[in-house]
Amino acid sequence: MLRRSRAPRTGTPADLLVVGLGNPGEEYARTRHNVGAEVVELLAGRHGAKLKKGKERARVDEVGIAGKRVALAIPLTYMNDSGESVGLLARRYGVAPEQVVIVHDELDLPVAVLKVKSGGGLAGHNGLRSIKSHLHSDGFQRVRIGVGKPVTKERGADHVLNRFGKRERADIDVAIEDAADAVEMIASDGVDPTMNRYNARES
């Protein structure tokens, strides 16, 4: 029987590794590309974590959710190199790709629409592409937050670096709370029940 290989662990093992994607630096704070990082910041606040810079090119801490050991992380790499950090984190916590939850922005979803996905395509997201390359798998879980497509001729790469309008921001703040709830449900109930709950909701 073929066993699934895991990265050699370098630290305390975790049940789940939750990574919020974004770009580092104040100039990118609260942009469309950084909604994943905002979710992990919220989760850290909910569970009393203090995200600190570690060797894995990320701010990271561990929390307990539903009796599970959960590592929370925000890479300090730029979005397109997110896999460098995620690969190191997966090794540190001894997790398989299926134990990794990536929270990220999604151009293909309307603003503030939330969907949960297990494995599959990358929808042209360079951060996910980098993660797949470093984990050698696309089997990781995703919590996807819609940021909408550009309504002008603006390129998608420029659109995601913009901030939300006032009305969109209010909706996104609710979606970020919902995304944090979804991560907690993945920890407590697993990804399939979480997909059933969140993906069946009306946009």
The single residue of 33, 104, 134, 159 carrying the catalytic annotation is: 33
Which secondary-structure segment (H or E) carries 85? helix 82-93
* Whole-angstrom distance, CA of residue 192 vs CA of residue 199: 10
Instruction: For residue 3, report the phi and psi dihedrals to the nearest 5 degrees.
Output: -95, 145
Rg, Å, the chain Cα set: 16
* Whole-angstrom distance, CA of residue 150 vs CA of residue 159: 6
* Whole-angstrom distance, CA of residue 122 vs CA of residue 140: 11
* Whole-angstrom distance, CA of residue 60 vs CA of residue 172: 24
69 has which bridge partners?
64
Respond yes or no: is residue 125 known to be catalytic. Answer: no
Tokens of 27: 């100039």
Q: Which residue has the tokens 């539903």?
A: 66
**Exposure on the CB side of residue 153, measured as CA atoms within 13 A:** 0
CA nearest neighbour of 125 among 100, 144, 141, 139? 144
Query: Annotated catalytic sites, by residue?
Result: 33
